[in-house]
Amino acid sequence: MSPTDAELRALLMDCLALWGVGGRVAAGAEGMQIATDRGVYLVQRAPPDMRPVRWLLQTPERRAAARPPRVAPSIVALLTALRNALGAEAGNRVRIGASAS
């Protein structure tokens, strides 16, 4: 099940806050526009004929180079690609196991 526009906007706003990236998220005719000091990023739902691709991410760098949007098969892949494109920190990873004494 794909998130609604309101859910996707809220998720993207939460991610920006979590990643410490200042920006605005707005729904537009083409998709979700994420405006930051690095430029405008565009998140779009992929058309059904592109399955298994679910999401498209256009970055300022790809747009300037006249390259097509990056494709993502899942929301997790989309958020990872967006975080990397924004240059945001990945954060701490939880490790489970015995500690060395």
Question: Residue 100 falls within a domain, yes or no?
Answer: no
- Domain limits for position 51: 5-86
What counts of helices (H) and strands (E) characterise the chain? 3, 5
Give yes or no for a contact between 60 and 23, defined as CB atoms under 8 angstroms apart.
no
Residue 26 DSSP SS3: strand
Q: What is the DSSP letter of 67?
A: P
Question: Residue 98 falls within a domain, yes or no?
Answer: no
Q: How far is 24 from 37, CA to CA, in rounded Å? A: 10
pLDDT tier at 92 (50, 70, 90 boundaries)? low
Write down the pLDDT at residue 90.
72
Write down the pLDDT at residue 101.
58
The model's pLDDT over 29-83, given as tens digits with 9 standing for 90+, comes to 999 999 999 999 999 999 999 999 999 999 999 999 999 999 999 999 999 999 9
Question: Residue 39 falls within a domain, yes or no?
Answer: yes
Give yes or no for a contact between 72 and 81, defined as CB atoms under 8 angstroms apart.
yes
Question: Residue 41 falls within a domain, yes or no?
Answer: yes
Question: Residue 94 falls within a domain, yes or no?
Answer: no
Count up the domains in the chain and report the number: 1
Give yes or no for a contact between 98 and 33, defined as CB atoms under 8 angstroms apart.
no
